[in-house]
Amino acid sequence: MIQAFGLTSNPRKELPPAADDVSFEARAGRVTALLGAPGAGKTTVLRLMLELQQGRGITHFRGRPLHRITHPSREVGVLLGDVPGHPARTVRGHLRMLCAAAGVSVRRADVVLEAVGLVSLREERLGTLSRGMDRRLGLACVLLADPHSLVLDDPAGGLSTRESAWLHGMLRAHAARGGTVLFTTADPKGAARTADRVVTLDHGRLVADQEAAEFARTRLRPRVAVRSPHAARLAVLLTKQARTSQRSVEVVRESGNRLSVYGGTCADIGEIAFRHGIVVHQLADEIGDMGPGAGPAHTNGQRDSVLVEPLRVTDTHGAALTPDSGESSSSAGPTRPFAPDTQAPTAEPHQVLEPGSLSIAREPGTGEPSLSFGQSQLPDVEPHELSELSPAGGTDDGSLTATPPSRPRTAHPTAVLTARTLDAPPPLPPPISVRPAPSPLRPLRYEIRRATGIGTGFLTAATVLAVSAVTAVVLARIGHTPQPRLLAAWPQELPLPPAALGAGLLGALAFGDEFRHPALAADRGTVPRRLGLLAAKLLVSTAAALVLAVLTVGCDAEVLYLVYGRELAQVPADWVPLMTSWIGLVVGCAWAGVLAAGVFRSTTAGLAAVTAVPLLVVPVVHRLVNGPSMRTAAGLPVRLRETLLPRWPFGGERYLEAALKVMSQPVGGALTLSLAALLCAYLLTTLRSRFR
């Protein structure tokens, strides 16, 4: 069961809140439709329920708020819009990646593919799917973790009739297995046809909460609303008249003294009531297919206004009838309200009312009745309970008083209707704060499937190898390039070699694609930036950078051997520190791309951070270390090695010395500082969102 209490969005500038004190229930085993016109606040209500938007209120999913559920995707399946996936990823690959994120077996992907009818399209790319197939894939993503509740925002929007019928059949099947289904729609007829209960919103307010049958009967068909203290007698007369005239008229008894007449007109009903002397308090047409904005039906005891109109009973020609003679009055003469002994004396201004009192007075000049309440307090009374309109006893100002039918008339000279004293306003519902999405249950499995599911990484690596090989051949032909730089294809004029730029791009894509195609945000709306996911991305990007660094040197050496012979392809004598420096540079660029893209939420920002290290940070570090001053830091690398490198057994100090040598170089030192700054910024951003 889903229970929403007092959902209220934060106020907007000069506009009412998009959702205002919305409370309803969606029961297990049933399909509930949240109905409203565009802009009625349906999506806002869903986002407040899922803690994706700040506001007030609380929502319980089987008795627990969402932030207290350990694995929300296993409790609530959410689909807000289209499937957020990379367009180059296959349908099956996308589902397998989400299986790794949800911590379920990858075999579950094949199960849901068969359930939604996408087995034949499992190798299709997401960017080639039609609207109907995209909705099927979205439902498959929702069902992956087998959640108990489904929350969907306009799932049938833009679908054909056949696809809509299939989708609603799937939702009905989920509810039949004991699950809870809540979806939004703007189609009243579709809601009545597919849902068990319809909750209607209008301008952010709850205006109706009805069973689907009652909704279809009372809000989708044209009807005449009738209120009379003799409703039972009037219903019998209307049924008898319809049977006599052989007309299709349906009379339905509502609660209290209300009738709903389908197939009749106000003129016919008013004429029958007048002929038989039946007092009628309301007679109004309510046009069908109303949906939102049709007026309050069940509003949990809250009502914005009460409208009392004078009833004019007319004949079939539209001429007004007097209650005494039953004859038509002249079209030029005034008509009289259907009320006993009413006159129209000159009206005086409204008198001051006591708190909780009600008075009806005629407006000056028009003679039309108006309703007033003491201190603007609404009385606890239905409009149909105002059974009598009569001049106030002992007054001559033309004011009218209202007396409910269940209460005897009092001998007080001025009869007033006292409303129930309003209780103190209830306390505000608890605030809703946007909470970060949980990281995947299997972040390493998820990251491996994410990185290998599309061809971007493989294409980037192939491009880097080709550019490096061509650059090495050109540099060897020109000459004046040291062999280590020749093997790395690193010209003196470039700040970074192609392999380092490629590794930085792969690292930037690791987090940049998360924000560009937020597959993990389908259930919570925000891309997670937890340490587990960061560690997985750093580990996978490290592996990719190592492979790229080794392949680049190997390919360059092989090409140089084929073109120029063995002389340029010889291994340098100090290959250990050189290889350590090379691997540290490539891996550092990959890490810089990952961290920068995670902090700034952009692939471009990640790649810019990689290129900014040699262009901006290196000159600053070089100037600080070796710049002119009274005391310089010359010889710092040598002193660091002497202080921090004791003699280790088996020559282990050589590797640590190589690492320190890399860090002591301008590029290595600048890269180390950049990584430290980016890591601190990432941690600060993560902690700030968690504290929020």
Tell me the pLDDT tens digit for each residue of 324-341: 333 333 333 333 333 333
Please tell me the predicted confidence (pLDDT) of residue 322: 38
* Lowest mean pLDDT across 297-301, 489-493, 552-556: 297-301
Please tell me the predicted confidence (pLDDT) of residue 527: 77
CA dist., res. 57 & res. 6, Å (int): 5
Higher-scoring residue by pLDDT: 376, 368: 368
CA dist., res. 50 & res. 44, Å (int): 10
In this structure, what token pair is assigned to residue 384? 């149909």
Identify the band that residue 383 occupies on the pLDDT scale cut at 50, 70 and 90: very low
3 state DSSP class of 362: strand
* β-pairing verdict for 22-26 and 2-9: antiparallel
pLDDT for 198 beyond 90: yes
Please tell me the predicted confidence (pLDDT) of residue 410: 40
pLDDT in tens, 109-124: 999 999 999 999 999 9
Please tell me the predicted confidence (pLDDT) of residue 254: 81
Mean pLDDT of 62-89: 89
What is the Cα gyration radius of the chain?
38
- Do the beta carbons of residue 76 and residue 105 sit within 8 Å? no
Please tell me the predicted confidence (pLDDT) of residue 462: 95
Identify the band that residue 292 occupies on the pLDDT scale cut at 50, 70 and 90: very low
Please tell me the predicted confidence (pLDDT) of residue 612: 83
In this structure, what token pair is assigned to residue 661? 């040598």
* Lowest mean pLDDT across 125-139, 218-232, 260-274, 276-290: 276-290
Please tell me the predicted confidence (pLDDT) of residue 622: 62
The beta strands (E) that lie in 212-320 are given as 223-227, 250-253, 258-262, 282-286
CA dist., res. 216 & res. 198, Å (int): 9
In this structure, what token pair is assigned to residue 244? 């006599």
What is the arrangement of strands in the sheet containing 388-391, beginning at the earlier edge strand? 369-373, 358-362, 400-403, 388-391
Mean pLDDT of 487-516: 90
Please tell me the predicted confidence (pLDDT) of residue 664: 52
pLDDT for 144 beyond 70: yes
pLDDT for 460 beyond 90: yes
Spatial CB neighbours of 536, under 8 Å, sequence gap ≥ 6: 443, 444, 446, 447
Please tell me the predicted confidence (pLDDT) of residue 449: 93
pLDDT for 476 beyond 60: yes
Q: Which residue has the tokens 């925002």?
A: 153
CA dist., res. 645 & res. 640, Å (int): 8
Please tell me the predicted confidence (pLDDT) of residue 640: 53
Question: Rounded to the nearest 10 degrees, what angle do helices 443-452 and 531-564 cross at?
Answer: 40
pLDDT for 499 beyond 60: yes
In this structure, what token pair is assigned to residue 255? 């609660």
- Do the beta carbons of residue 200 and residue 291 sit within 8 Å? yes
Q: Which of 183, 247, 248, 260 is nearest to 214 (CA)?
A: 260
Identify the band that residue 665 occupies on the pLDDT scale cut at 50, 70 and 90: low
pLDDT for 654 beyond 70: no
Identify the band that residue 565 occupies on the pLDDT scale cut at 50, 70 and 90: confident
* β-pairing verdict for 258-262 and 223-227: antiparallel
pLDDT for 388 beyond 50: no
CA dihedral 50, 52, 58, 64 (to 10 degrees): 40
* Lowest mean pLDDT across 109-118, 369-378, 496-505: 369-378
Please tell me the predicted confidence (pLDDT) of residue 458: 94
CA dist., res. 21 & res. 41, Å (int): 11
3 state DSSP class of 7: strand
DSSP state of 122: T
Higher-scoring residue by pLDDT: 238, 642: 238
* β-pairing verdict for 2-9 and 55-61: antiparallel
* Lowest mean pLDDT across 225-234, 347-356, 621-630: 347-356
* Lowest mean pLDDT across 61-70, 151-160, 273-282, 432-441: 432-441
pLDDT for 446 beyond 60: yes
Question: Rounded to the nearest 10 degrees, what angle do helices 666-691 and 575-600 cross at?
Answer: 30
pLDDT for 639 beyond 70: no
Identify the band that residue 89 occupies on the pLDDT scale cut at 50, 70 and 90: very high
Q: Which of 277, 88, 61 is nearest to 182 (CA)?
A: 61
Whole-prediction pTM? 0.69
* β-pairing verdict for 180-185 and 149-153: parallel
Mean pLDDT of 374-398: 41
